């Protein structure tokens, strides 16, 4: 059993698939703390968790240039090199799977993929060397930007045929001072847990989970995107009219930055409240890709007829701390939000809805059908939960 050395996991996680291990926490856990504890952070593995010896670990970096001189450059760094030869940076960043909320799409029309609810997302602090610093130390020069367009990542996790998980990002994101890409060796102040990429994973803040390659073994600077299945033939969006007979993966770009998202973590769908409570507190998360800050979350308790503005939090200290406001374009972390609303009168049931707005004034679509796609990715319609009011 190639999965026999997989690590222990917290029993509260809801398992989507056991081998490989895919699981998410109950939604209410997400809004208990601003930083998601690692044990509750969703786990999305395509393959068995590799057992990497930190003492012998080597990260290979290859510059795949057009001339033989550039192509010859292969460098390798030990874990100790990465920890001691480069300044340590810490960022708080949210990672969301492209398939988060796929179950909402599945409900309206069948899709193919793991049936994630709303918790294939988490917010953690990540510490490590800047990817930019390491690429420069490996011999990348600004002149290479003439031919180099992509940075490919390969994991040490493999299927039985020896194929590794892999993906790529734009070189411009990887090399930018403001891009904040990290070769992370710590999550929430501790060594990366086995499920989250020990000993090194790349953190590409603002970019879909799939590009944040865990158990990183190799980096290639190239003129081409990663040739891996997950870059070429998966993690792409399509029209609602595209089906498995007509889909052409070459026709769509690989998902990088994700669209604006929000969801209600409490109350749960189908919950019951007592009329005598008079009010209800609604909580959730909101996040957008590309470092776009969440500027507002609107909440409705009448299915979207009337709205109120939720209170946003970017820490556990209640009201938003203006000093911790990220620089424009570098809002990598989610905001939690909450709102206490009077229960609607003369109704036995209410539909609670949320929708977020990011700094580019992107909004979430109001319904799922117009964004439905056969793989069930990019599911970010208004989130709706039904709550019964008991007299
Ligand atoms: N990296 C490797 N090596 N193997 C994987 O299966 N899964 C990707 C990404 N990096 C994956 C990987 C996907 S699709 C997601 S959403 C995130 O890791 C999940 O990260 P997490 O398990 O730390 O939450
Ligand atoms: Mo993912």
In order of start, what are the domains of the chain with their CATH numbers? Answer: 14-107+122-251 (3.90.420.10), 261-390 (2.60.40.650)
CA distance 151 to 169: 5
Residue whose Cα lies nearest atom 12 of ligand 1: it is 213
Average pLDDT value for residue range 204-225:
98
Q: What is the pLDDT of residue 71?
A: 67
Instruction: Please state the ipTM of this predicted complex.
Output: 1.00
Q: What is the pLDDT of residue 74?
A: 81
CA distance 362 to 287: 11
Enter the DSSP assignment of 145: G
* Residue 101 pLDDT exceeds 90: yes
Q: Which residues pair with 60 in a beta bridge?
A: 76, 218
What is the layout of strands, in order, in the sheet containing 349-358? 271-274, 383-390, 349-358, 294-300, 308-309
Please provide the average confidence, as pLDDT, over all residues in the chain: 96
Q: What proportion of the chain, given as a percentage, has pLDDT over 90?
A: 93
CB 130 within 8 A of CB 86: yes
Tell me how many degrees the CA angle 18-23-27 measures, rounded to the nearest 5: 155
Could you tell me which residues come within 8 angstroms of residue 343 by beta carbon, excluding any fewer than 6 positions away?
273, 275, 277, 278, 279, 280, 301, 350, 389
CA distance 72 to 379: 43
Which one of 39, 46, 181, 185 would you pick to mutate in the ligand 1 pocket, going by the greatest count of ligand atoms within 8 A of its CB?
A: 46
Q: What proportion of the chain, given as a percentage, has pLDDT over 70?
A: 97
CA distance 42 to 27: 11
What would the pLDDT profile of 4-43 be if each residue is shown by its tens digit?
999 999 999 999 999 999 999 999 999 999 999 999 999 9
Any atom of ligand 1 within 6 Å of the Cβ of 40: no
What would the pLDDT profile of 135-174 be if each residue is shown by its tens digit?
999 999 999 999 999 999 999 999 999 999 999 999 999 9
Could you tell me which residues come within 8 angstroms of residue 322 by beta carbon, excluding any fewer than 6 positions away?
none
Residue (of 218, 114, 176, 196) closest to 330 by Cα position? 176
Q: What is the pLDDT of residue 70?
A: 72
What would the pLDDT profile of 286-335 be if each residue is shown by its tens digit?
999 999 999 999 999 999 999 999 999 999 986 555 556 889 999 999 99
CB 96 within 8 A of CB 121: yes
At 67, the pLDDT band (50, 70, 90 cuts) reads: confident
Q: What is the pLDDT of residue 45?
A: 98
CB 129 within 8 A of CB 88: yes
Average pLDDT value for residue range 57-80:
86
User: Burial level of 354, CB count in 10 A (0-12/13-18/19+)?
Assistant: buried
Average pLDDT value for residue range 354-375:
98
C-alpha 96 to ligand 1 mean position (Å): 10
CA distance 187 to 206: 17
**Which protein residues have a CB closer than 5 Å to ligand 2 (ion)?**
44, 97, 209-210
CA distance 107 to 120: 17
Which one of 13, 98, 209, 376 would you pick to mutate in the ligand 1 pocket, going by the greatest count of ligand atoms within 8 A of its CB?
A: 209
């Amino acid at each position: 059993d190639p999965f026999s050395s997989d690590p222990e996991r917290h029993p509260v996680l809801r398992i989507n698939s056991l081998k490989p291990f895919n699981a998410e926490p109950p939604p209410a856990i997400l809004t208990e703390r601003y930083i998601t504890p690692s044990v509750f952070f969703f786990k999305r593995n395509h393959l068995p968790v590799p057992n990497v010896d930190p003492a012998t670990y080597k990260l290979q970096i290859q510059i795949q240039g057009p001339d033989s001189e550039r192509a010859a450059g292969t460098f390798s760094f030990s874990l100790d090199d990465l920890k001691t030869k480069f300044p340590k940076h810490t960022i708080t960043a949210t990672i969301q799977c492209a398939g988060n909320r796929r179950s909402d799409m599945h409900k309206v029309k069948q899709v193919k993929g793991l049936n994630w609810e709303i918790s294939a997302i988490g917010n953690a602090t990540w510490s490590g060397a800047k990817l930019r610093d390491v690429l420069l130390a490996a011999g990348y020069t600004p002149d290479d930007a003439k031919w180099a367009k992509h940075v490919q990542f390969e994991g040490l996790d493999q299927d039985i045929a020896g194929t590794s998980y892999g993906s790529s990002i734009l070189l411009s994101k990887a090399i930018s001072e403001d891009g904040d890409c990290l070769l992370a060796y710590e999550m929430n102040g501790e060594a990366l847990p086995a499920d989250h990429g020990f000993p090194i994973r790349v953190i590409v803040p603002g970019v879909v989970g799939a590009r944040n390659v865990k158990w990183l073994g190799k980096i290639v600077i190239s003129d081409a995107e990663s040739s891996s299945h997950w870059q070429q033939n998966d993690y792409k969006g399509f029209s609602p009219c595209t089906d498995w007979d007509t889909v052409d993966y070459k026709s769509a770009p690989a998902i990088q930055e994700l669209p604006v998202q929000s969801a209600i973590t409490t109350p749960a769908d189908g919950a019951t409240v007592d009329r005598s409570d008079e009010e209800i507190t609604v909580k959730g998360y909101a996040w957008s890709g590309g470092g776009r800050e969440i500027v507002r979350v609107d909440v409705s308790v009448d299915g979207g007829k009337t709205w109120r503005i939720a209170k946003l939090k970017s820490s556990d200290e209640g009201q938003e701390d203006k000093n911790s406001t990220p620089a424009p374009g570098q809002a990598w972390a989610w905001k939690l939000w909450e709102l206490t609303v009077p229960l609607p009168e003369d109704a036995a049931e209410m539909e609670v809805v949320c929708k977020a707005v990011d700094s580019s004034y992107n909004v979430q679509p109001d319904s799922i059908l117009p964004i439905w796609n056969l793989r069930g990715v990019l599911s970010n319609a208004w989130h709706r939960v039904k709550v019964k009011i008991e007299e």
